[in-house]
Amino acid sequence: MLDNLKLVLLQHKKFLTIFFVVVFLPSVVLAFFGIRAIYNERYKLQQQNLEKQKEFVREVQSGILSHIEKKSSKLLELATYEFFSKKDYRGIHDLIFKHLKDESLFGHVVIWNLHGSQWLPGFQTSPSAVRIFAVPEDWKKWRLVLEIAERAEFRRRNYSEAISLYRRIFESTKDNQVKAWLLSRIARCEIKQKKYKQALNAYRSIIDNFSDLFTESGRPLGLVSRIEMLDALRLDRDRESFFRESLRTFSMLEQNVWSLDGEQIKVYTIMLKNIIDEVVAEDSSEHLPENYSKSVGDIHYAIDKKLHVWKMAEAARQNFLLSTKEMLADSSSSSTQVHKNSFEFEGDDILVFLIPIDNGGTGSYREFLGSLVQINDLTEIIDTQIRENSPSDVSIVLRSSLSNKIVFSNEETNLGSAVITDFFPDNFPPWRMELYQIGSGGSVFSLHKNIFFWTILALLVILVFGSGLIIRTIVQEVNLLNLKSEFIASVSHEFKTPLTTMGAVLERLLSDDVKDPKKTKEYYRILSHDSERLKRLVKNVLDFTKIEDGKREYKLRTTDFTRLVRHEVNNFHNENRMSGFTVETRIDDDIPSVIADEEAMSQALHNILDNAAKFSGSEKSIQVNIIRQKGSIEIAIQDRGVGIPENEQKKVFEKFYRGKQASSVSPTGTGLGLTLVKHIMDAHRGDVVIKSQPGKGTCVSLILPVRKGG
């Protein structure tokens, strides 16, 4: 096979050289430069897209920083008001809630004191530290009577006497502070006497008339009285009034109407919650007002949020106030500036803005005006910046440099590797911006719209198609050469066998060694059989050559096909008498004549019968049936031989083809028999049909159309 391949390549050397130089090599070169051009164009588009994304990141950064600077300027402007230097707390409170009513100051405004106090004007009308009062003179004047009343209340537990003495002073004094304290003591004694209605009246009087005053220990009298009133309502089992007043008191605590600081709010929240929980535990759920528990929970949640801000402000004071003061002491700048810092607080990034307040112009900074900003305070502006400028199919993420946690993302997506990573100037805010590609992007390279792509594709199609044709031609020619080699070997063997036999017989006859007339006659019959065999072999080869050259002619005339078949079967029987073959013929009645070339049809029948004899093996029986069909007749030749595999049944009509199993059973044969049969039947406008099962035999049917009128 390798020799045949070399021979084919040498025969087509010139053609292959032309194809390689004219088609293959230029196509490869053009494809190389086309791929390079596609890569360069794609890289260019990627760079353009990257620049757009970088510009988008810069715009988002600029928008966020611009917003921060704008609010910083507002905070700086706020610090210039004289309310701060004069410590006019009411003025400061009104300034924040009135002057900036239409200007949303981000975060929570705080005034820190270097010595530990802090004031959130948004939560308090005035700082807790300024609520200092002196003991009234009237209180001092009644000291002796008060001591007697206290001994009656606490030592002797004579609550009626104590109430009588407290009322005596109450009716004699004109000082509201003293009146408020006395009413509180009277209510306390009445509760001890289990006179809850009278105690409630006393507390309501305090709440109505003296709510803005303070207790003897400096606590908000209105708040303390409300808590005591709730305890009295609990003891009196007045649940309806308790639920109503508890919600009202809890709501007032959340609104911080008494200007409490964070720790005070926390303490009173616990006290109120404990009283409420105790009453709820005592009563079954059906006695609770509708949505009562939900309302309590909502208020508690709002208080917790404010307490969170208090803790945040305290953390900022501890982290930055002292260091900022030291920095101011070392600084030579006289202008007031906004100092920006950041820190992590309970998993969140907090931005801190500090402005020193020079009280009295002494240069000694003991107070700072500032603001605390959480990511939630900037979410709207960040989202707006991203939504207005964002390229398509990208996700922007702000990740904390302090905790490495995502503080903002505009897409819910599984993040891969960031396309762009950038930080804010001076790492403030302390976030790095990460841009992720989640789609193809706005400037994606469209491969199917690129002319180089289609050029390369066309070249590849041409190369594949051309190479396929060349390879197919070479393979066919190599196979053909192989078949021709096998054909020559088979023909040589076919010629050699009868010639050898004939030579031996002639040698015996010429030597006059054969005296028996019967033996002599048998030798002549052998010579006749082998010469006929050689004649048919030569005819097959010559007819095949004519078919290949398109010169085979057929003489079509009316033919008695029954007679033709009987004659050919008889000849076959005589030729193969010594082999022991039996041929059974079955012919339908009224078989019509057909238009056919008798010689060609005899040749076709003989080739089929010869194949049946070759591949019958031990089964020496052949069945020949002539069947009349509508518009045609069928000559079916059935053997009981080795059969033909299904995958070879169409190939047996190809020139020189011999099946694997057939070659192993009978090494002789040219591979032209069925090829000639197929050509003969096509010339007669008939058909050849093979039905076969390996190991069970083969039936070859010749189907011929009946002539008109037949």
Whether pLDDT at 298 is above 50: yes
Cα separation, 709 vs 241, whole angstroms: 122
Cα separation, 112 vs 202, whole angstroms: 39
Cα separation, 111 vs 206, whole angstroms: 33
- What would the pLDDT profile of 339-352 be if each residue is shown by its tens digit? 889 999 988 899 99
| pLDDT at site 419 | 82
Q: Where does the pLDDT of residue 621 fall: very low under 50, low under 70, confident under 90, or very high at 90 and above?
A: confident
Q: Where does the pLDDT of residue 707 fall: very low under 50, low under 70, confident under 90, or very high at 90 and above?
A: low
Contact yes or no for 213/177 (Cβ under 8 A): yes
Cα separation, 367 vs 357, whole angstroms: 5
Q: What are the tokens at 500?
A: 């050898």
- What would the pLDDT profile of 405-446 be if each residue is shown by its tens digit? 888 887 665 667 888 889 988 888 999 988 887 765 544 455
Q: Where does the pLDDT of residue 667 fall: very low under 50, low under 70, confident under 90, or very high at 90 and above?
A: low
Cα separation, 553 vs 543, whole angstroms: 9
> Identity (one letter) of the amino acid at 129?
A
516: CB partners within 8 A, 6+ apart: none
Least confident of 218-227, 490-499, 529-538, 547-556: 490-499
Cα separation, 173 vs 166, whole angstroms: 11
Of 443, 374, 381, 430, nearest in space to 410 by CA: 381
The stretch 124-130 carries a mean pLDDT of: 71
- What would the pLDDT profile of 299-325 be if each residue is shown by its tens digit? 999 999 999 999 999 898 888 888 887
Q: How is residue 366 annotated by DSSP? A: -
Phi and psi torsions of 598, nearest 5°:
-60, -45
653: CB partners within 8 A, 6+ apart: 674, 675, 677, 678, 688
Radius of gyration of the chain (CA): 58
Least confident of 64-78, 242-256, 471-485, 626-640: 471-485
Q: Where does the pLDDT of residue 710 fall: very low under 50, low under 70, confident under 90, or very high at 90 and above?
A: very low
Q: What are the tokens at 483?
A: 């078949």
| pLDDT at site 17 | 77
- Looking at per-residue confidence, does 506 or 229 come out higher? 229
Domains of the chain: 24-131+287-439 (no CATH), 136-258 (1.25.40.10), 553-705 (3.30.565.10)
Chain-centre distance of CA 331, in angstroms? 56
Which pairs count as long-range contacts for 551-558, CB under 8 Å and 24+ apart, including other chains?
A: 552/679, 552/683, 554/597, 554/600, 554/680, 554/683, 554/684, 555/597, 555/599, 556/595, 556/596, 556/597, 556/684, 557/595, 557/596, 557/597, 557/598, 558/593, 558/594, 558/595, 558/707
- What would the pLDDT profile of 587-616 be if each residue is shown by its tens digit? 888 888 888 888 888 888 888 888 888 777
| pLDDT at site 655 | 73
Q: What are the tokens at 115?
A: 């010595």
144: CB partners within 8 A, 6+ apart: none
Q: What are the tokens at 709?
A: 């009128």
Highest mean pLDDT among 45-54, 269-278, 555-564: 269-278
Of 401, 399, 348, 354, nearest in space to 375 by CA: 348
- Looking at per-residue confidence, does 170 or 474 come out higher? 170
* Residue 638, SS3 per DSSP: strand
Q: In which order are the strands placed within the sheet that holds 632-639?
A: 582-587, 621-629, 632-639, 697-705, 687-693
Which pairs count as long-range contacts for 450-457, CB under 8 Å and 24+ apart, including other chains?
A: 450/38, 450/41, 452/34, 452/35, 452/37, 452/38, 452/41, 453/34, 453/38, 455/30, 455/34, 456/30, 456/31, 456/34, 456/35, 456/38
Of the chain, the percentage scoring pLDDT greater than 70 comes to 75
Q: Where does the pLDDT of residue 496 fall: very low under 50, low under 70, confident under 90, or very high at 90 and above?
A: low
Strands (DSSP E) found in 116-261: 118-119
Which residue has tokens 């197929």? 678
Q: What are the tokens at 514?
A: 């054969």
Q: Where does the pLDDT of residue 148 fall: very low under 50, low under 70, confident under 90, or very high at 90 and above?
A: very high
The stretch 493-518 carries a mean pLDDT of: 68
Q: Where does the pLDDT of residue 165 fall: very low under 50, low under 70, confident under 90, or very high at 90 and above?
A: very high
CB burial readout 319-351, b (16+ within 10 A) else e = bbbeebbeebeeeeeeeeebbbbbbebeebbbb
The stretch 187-193 carries a mean pLDDT of: 94
Cα separation, 591 vs 603, whole angstroms: 21
| pLDDT at site 442 | 46
Which residue has tokens 């209510």? 187
Whether pLDDT at 209 is above 90: yes
Phi and psi torsions of 446, nearest 5°:
-90, 100
Q: Is 590 exposed, middle or buried, given 0-12, 13-18 or 19+ CB atoms closer than 10 A? A: exposed
Cα separation, 674 vs 592, whole angstroms: 25
Taking the CB of residue 424, how many other CB atoms lie within 10 A of it?
Answer: 17
| pLDDT at site 206 | 94
Tell me how far CA of residue 206 lies from CA of 177, 247, 253, in angstroms.
Answer: 10, 19, 17
pLDDT averaged over every residue in the chain? 80
Q: Where does the pLDDT of residue 709 fall: very low under 50, low under 70, confident under 90, or very high at 90 and above?
A: very low
Q: Where does the pLDDT of residue 544 fall: very low under 50, low under 70, confident under 90, or very high at 90 and above?
A: low
Q: How is residue 214 annotated by DSSP? A: B
- Looking at per-residue confidence, does 208 or 468 come out higher? 208
Would the CA dihedral through 8, 10, 14, 18 be positive or negative?
A: positive
